[in-house]
Chains A and B, each alone.
Chain A
């Protein structure tokens, strides 16, 4: 009887945890202890340093809570990927968004590349998948640099 109750509680718990789960196509990281503008500037510099060219920064909301997004593209990667699946260009340039939370922390988010690769797996060659993963790594390492990690 106790086992049945435990399983039922687990199932209820799982159903609630699924409700607050992030969309699988979304990836976010939280940066604490830094001002929004500082994060934005440092992230732009870190991305440029990785050949992830920031084509533009759009400030959607300049008063708190602030919100901006960056249009980022690595044309060397894009050139190879678009030859195979040009439709993926509608996700380019990659949008990296930043927003301020009530506690002052800054959230940086972008598309979850690993989920994207699962969705379009059969359309892409191993080489293109590697380029996607490299881009993902470049962006995540840029965020880590901003965090001082």
Chain B
């Protein structure tokens, strides 16, 4: 009897774990986006620090798009601060885009800096799923270049998001 109860308990625990992983961890939000809160910082400060950090790390910034400023200028004043930074102008982009044109979704990298509920967040795409699906066309070398670029991008974002906490 004890063995049966133990087994049933194990099965329930395993099912609960699978349910938690599927509903809380493996969500489209977690699979496609990397998001951090920049605690204690203002929107523009985060944008300026990210631009500086990306350029320092060789993730050259191409453009900064002040989305909310344009929206405010159209008379919609309650739209929260929102800026998109286009970065990752890497030298391999030409070969990568020629091999897989759809990689233009990843290169240049778009990084969104926005306010929500009074907090400032930074979001970037996660590249894993897209690289995996095109690994054959990209080859090992260029798959690794994209993975390394996005890894560097995440480190830069984390450094800017967490600097104030030290």
Q: Bound pair: A and B?
A: yes
Q: Which residues of A contact B (CB under 8 A)?
A: 23, 25-26, 55-56, 60-61, 65, 67, 69, 71, 73, 75, 78-79, 82-83, 86-87, 89-93, 95, 97, 99, 107, 109, 111, 119-120, 123
Q: Which residues of B contact A91 (CB under 8 A)?
A: 105, 110, 125
Report which B residues bind A (CB closer than 8 A).
Answer: 28-29, 32-33, 35, 63, 65, 67, 70-71, 74, 76, 79-80, 82, 84, 86, 93-94, 97-98, 101-102, 104-105, 110-112, 114, 116, 121, 123-125, 130, 133-134
Contact at A99–B65, with CB atoms within 8 Å? no
CB of B93 within 8 A of CB of A60, answer: yes
A22 CB, min distance to chain B CBs, angstroms? 9
Give A99 to B33 CA distance when docked, in angstroms.
Answer: 28
Q: Which residues of B sit under 8 angstroms from A73, Cβ to Cβ?
A: 65
Contact B114 A82 (CB under 8 A): yes
Residue contact B84 to A67, C-beta cutoff 8 Å: no
Provided the pairs A89-B82, A89-B114 are in contact, do residues A97 and B101 lie with their beta carbons within 8 angstroms? yes
How far does the alpha carbon of A60 sit from the alpha carbon of B104 in the complex, in Å? 10
A28 to chain B, nearest CB (A): 8
Instruction: Determine if A23 and B133 form an interchain contact, defined as CB atoms under 8 angstroms apart.
Output: yes
The chain B residue with its CB closest to the CB of A69 is B104
Q: How far is the CB of A53 from chain B (nearest CB, A)?
A: 10
Measured between beta carbons, the chain B residues less than 8 angstroms from A26 are 102
Contacts of B123 in A (CB 8 A): 86-87, 89-90
Assess the B102–A109 pair: CB atoms within 8 A.
yes
| Across-interface contacts of A93 in B (CB, < 8 A) | 65, 84, 110
Find out whether the CB atom of A111 lies under 8 angstroms from the CB atom of B105: yes
Give every chain A residue within 8 A of B28 (Cβ-Cβ). 119-120, 123
Known contacts A26-B102, A109-B102; A87 and B97 CB within 8 A of each other = no
Q: A119 touching B97 by the CB < 8 A rule? A: no
B102 & A97 in contact (Cβ 8 Å cutoff): yes
Closest-CB distance, A86 to chain B (whole angstroms): 4
- Min C-beta distance of B119 to chain A, whole Å: 11
Given that A75-B70, A79-B76, A92-B110 are contacting pairs, would A86 and B102 also be in contact in the complex, using a CB cutoff of 8 Å?
no
Other-chain residue from B63, B111, B116 in contact with A90 (beta carbon distance below 8 A): B111
**A127 CA to B85 CA, complexed, in Å:** 27
Query: Which residues of chain A come closer than 8 Å to B125, judged between CB atoms?
Result: 90-91
A61 to B94, CA, bound (A): 7
Q: How far is the CB of B125 from chain A (nearest CB, A)?
A: 5
Most buried by A among B79, B84, B111, B125: B84
